[in-house]
């Protein structure tokens, strides 16, 4: 970092504390999910708890990546990192967009609580995938590359 440049907010102790507190909470949600999994044989409840458990495990890894980016090595993304992916990113994004369409269509053609419950989870996930990829694709087009 150049002399006189302001440190990013992530370098503050407050940022690290928030992420660390949050990461500890993930252990609790994993434990709650496990407790509930032991108490039920219902496939829908089981699916819900399994999904939350897996997500929490995933969150812990991602939070650790953020902590490491402050305490060890900063995370960077260069135009080359994205350009090396060729048109793969765009094609993947289109497939995720098509998934959202199909999921929406399935939801329109359903009426049972259980079906709609599962489909709404899937729609949110597919939208999330699409949004993540389109943020990267947008960054490729940006004239000023921000990290
Ligand atoms: Fe979480
Ligand atoms: Fe997806």
pLDDT tens-digit readout, 64-88: 999 999 999 999 998 889 999 989 9
pLDDT at 79: 85
CA of 100 to the centre of ligand 2 (A): 8
pLDDT value of residue 147: 63
What is the pLDDT at residue 141?
A: 78
Residue 139 confidence (pLDDT): 86
Please tell me the distance between residue 109's alpha carbon and the centre of ligand 1 in angstroms: 31
Q: What is the pLDDT of residue 142?
A: 75
**Surrounding residues of ion ligand 2, Cβ less than 5 A:** 96, 126, 129
Q: How confident is the model at residue 92 (pLDDT cuts 50, 70, 90)?
A: very high
- Please tell me which residue, 98 or 6, carries the higher pLDDT value: 98
Of 41-45, 78-82, 112-116, where does mean pLDDT reach its minimum? 78-82
Q: What is the pTM of this model?
A: 0.87
Distance 131 CA to ligand 2 centre (A): 10
Neighbours of 33 (CB within 10 A): 21
Ligand nearest the Cα of residue 93 is 2
Alpha helices in 4-112 (DSSP H): 13-39, 43-71, 79-83, 88-108
CA of 127 to the centre of ligand 1 (A): 18
Q: CA–CA separation, 90 vs 79, rounded Å?
A: 15
């Amino acid at each position: 970092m150049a002399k006189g440049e302001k440190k990013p907010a992530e370098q503050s102790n407050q940022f690290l504390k928030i992420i660390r507190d949050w990461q500890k909470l993930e252990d609790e949600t994993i434990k709650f999910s496990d407790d509930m999994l032991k108490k039920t044989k219902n496939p829908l409840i089981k699916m819900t708890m399994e999904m939350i458990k897996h997500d929490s495990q995933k969150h812990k890894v991602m939070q650790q990546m953020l902590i490491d980016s402050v305490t060890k090595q900063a995370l960077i993304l260069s135009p080359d990192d994205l350009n090396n992916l060729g048109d793969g990113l765009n094609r993947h994004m289109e497939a995720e967009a098509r998934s959202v369409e199909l999921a929406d269509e399935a939801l329109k053609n359903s009426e049972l609580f259980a079906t709609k419950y599962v489909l709404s989870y899937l729609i949110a996930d597919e939208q999330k995938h699409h949004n993540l990829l389109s943020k990267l694709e947008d960054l490729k087009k940006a004239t000023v590359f921000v990290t």
